Amino acid sequence: MTTLIIAAHGSRHDTSVNDHVRNLARSLRNSGRFDDVVATFHQGEPSFDEVLGQVSSTGVIVVPLMTSDGYYSDVVLPRELRRHPRFATLDVHITTPIGTHPMILDMVADRVAMLANGHLLPLAETVIGVVGHGTTRHEQSRRSTEELGRKIERLGIAAKTFTAFLDEEPSVQSLRARTGNRHLIVIPFLISDGYHVRHDIPERLGFSGAAAKPSSVDGAQVPIERGGRWTIVDRPVGTDRRIGDVVMALATETVSCRMPQHTVAVGSA
């Protein structure tokens, strides 16, 4: 018997963030491919150190609903899971975070094409800005954002691809100068449609008070024009309808003993 646990950072201030993760868990539970599917949060209930108390199976697959191999996936999540008294009695495996899966690149490429076509932006005159969170607490936190940016750049689907971060350099603010006189499509490489996406990123780009308005192109914010140049802030990658497929791919690979190369097996620790 195997339980799938979806582990997210979550929020204690924005209930919609955690509701999004719980809805994802509910939809995957209905697929019947695991005995149970449970959501857990660093900020929310059940917490990482409590969730194993809700598990009835002996096998546990934990998929971090996070973008990078960083502080929360590599340090906080394993540490908190080990705090539970049942940890030593269960076979627990943590997969790589969803943001490191190859399917993410296809999802982003599809979004860029949809947004450019929907708003009549010539891709030869458009720059992509991939925005990650970043943190100085873990040197690997920025790696998946930078790698995604390099992969998009190699695809050649736009004039240029830049990466930027909320908590590290280069900053989100720097995207305006780096874009020049070209259009900008911002891809938030984040999990939830919370404060960072609805307010923080647009305001750092200089569009104070203009955020949080969805457009007709599948959830992206209303494009903002300045000096003949358009800026579009897309919905976060983690809200793509195919994220459930990424979670299931990581989980089923682990169950079938074909673990991803960087999977962290913590059951024997």
Q: Are residues 143 and 188 in the same domain?
A: yes
Can you tell me whether residue 180 is helix, strand or coil? coil
Question: What is the number of domains present in the chain?
Answer: 2
Q: Give the domain CATH number at 202.
A: 3.40.50.1400
Predicted confidence (pLDDT) at residue 244 exceeds the cutoff of 90: yes
AA identity, residue 240: D
Q: Are residues 220 and 113 in the same domain?
A: yes
Q: Are residues 117 and 66 in the same domain?
A: no
Binned at pLDDT 50, 70 and 90, residue 146 comes out as very high
Q: Are residues 127 and 199 in the same domain?
A: yes
Show the beta-strand stretches assigned E in 11-123.
36-43, 59-64, 91-94
Predicted confidence (pLDDT) at residue 110 exceeds the cutoff of 60: yes
Q: How far apart are CA 9 and CA 42, in angstroms?
A: 5
Q: Are residues 112 and 135 in the same domain?
A: yes
Q: Are residues 93 and 122 in the same domain?
A: no
Distances (CA, A) of 225 to 109, 161, 264: 23, 20, 45
Burial class (CB in 10 A: 0-12, 13-18, 19+), 74: buried
| Average confidence (pLDDT) over 5-22 | 93
Q: Which residues of 79-100 are buried (b: 16+ CB within 10 A; e: fewer)?
A: ebbeebeebeebebbbbbbbbb
Q: Are residues 94 and 111 in the same domain?
A: no
Q: Confirm if 85 and 22 have CB atoms less than 8 A apart.
A: no
Q: How far apart are CA 146 and CA 217, in angstroms?
A: 26
Q: Are residues 9 and 76 in the same domain?
A: yes
Predicted confidence (pLDDT) at residue 31 exceeds the cutoff of 80: yes
Predicted pLDDT of residue 78: 97
Domain assignment of residue 56, given as a range: 2-99+241-265
Predicted pLDDT of residue 196: 80
Greater model confidence, 210 or 15: 15
